[in-house]
Amino acid sequence: MSSEMYARIRENPKFKELVSKRERLAWTLTGIVLVLFFGLFLTVAFNPAVLAIRLGGSYVTTGLLIGFFEFVFFWALTAVYVRRANSEFDALTEALLRESSKEQK
C-alpha cells in the first residue's frame, strides 16, 4: 500500500470508529482484569484470613474458589474480545479496506 492510501485510511471516519471501539473495549477489559487481579493480591496482603475460610467443612477455601473464578473469568474476557474482534472489528476493517481500494482506482 502507498503512503497516500495509508493517509486516506487514517482520515476515514470508519477507521476512527474502529480505533475508538477497539480502544474502549481494550481499556474496559484491562481495567476489569487489573481490579480483580490486584484485588486478590491486596486481599492476600492485608486480609489473608478471608481467603482461608473453609466452605462447607471441606478443604475448599474461599481463596481457592476466588483464584479459580479469576482464571475462568479471564478466559471468558478473552473470548469476549476475540468474538468482537472477529465480528465487529473485522467487518469494519474489511469495509474500510474496500472503500480505500475503490478510492485508489
Average confidence (pLDDT) over 33-59: 94
Say how far apart CA 67 and CA 46 lie, in whole Å: 17
- How distant is the alpha carbon of residue 27 from its chain centre? 7
- The confidence band for 8, taking pLDDT boundaries of 50, 70 and 90, is confident
List the domain boundaries for the chain.
3-104
pLDDT at 103: 66
Say how far apart CA 33 and CA 74 lie, in whole Å: 7
Q: Which residues contact 41 (CB under 8 A, 6 or more apart)?
A: none
The pTM for the full model equals: 0.80
Say how far apart CA 49 and CA 84 lie, in whole Å: 39
Average confidence (pLDDT) over 42-47: 96
- The confidence band for 59, taking pLDDT boundaries of 50, 70 and 90, is very high
- The confidence band for 11, taking pLDDT boundaries of 50, 70 and 90, is confident
